[in-house]
């Protein structure tokens, strides 16, 4: 899936990845997809909770071979 916006948030710790993603999502139209790369070990759980609370959809949450977390979020 081709994201509409891609953020590389590697090296940032909680809560910065969520805050940066929230800011990016606010600029996007409904149905658009945000791609996030993160290194924070809590990112998968944090983004799962964030999407549940905000109504956005966590489409994918994977660990890449380099250890980074790749997440895809669809804007509500």
Does the CA dihedral 46-48-49-51 come out positive or negative?
positive
Examine the residue annotation and report whether 14 is marked as an active-site residue of this protein: yes
Q: Annotated catalytic residue: which of 5, 12, 14, 70?
A: 14
From residue 50, give the alpha-carbon distance in Å to each of 19, 20, 47: 10, 12, 5
**Active-site residues: which are they?**
14
């Amino acid at each position: 899936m081709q994201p509409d916006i891609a953020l590389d948030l590697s090296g940032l710790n909680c809560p910065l990845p969520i805050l940066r993603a929230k800011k990016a999502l606010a600029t996007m139209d409904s149905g658009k997809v945000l791609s996030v790369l993160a290194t924070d070990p809590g990112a998968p759980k944090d983004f799962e909770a964030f999407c549940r609370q905000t109504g956005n959809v966590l489409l994918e949450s994977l660990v890449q071979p380099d250890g980074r977390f790749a997440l895809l979020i669809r804007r509500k």
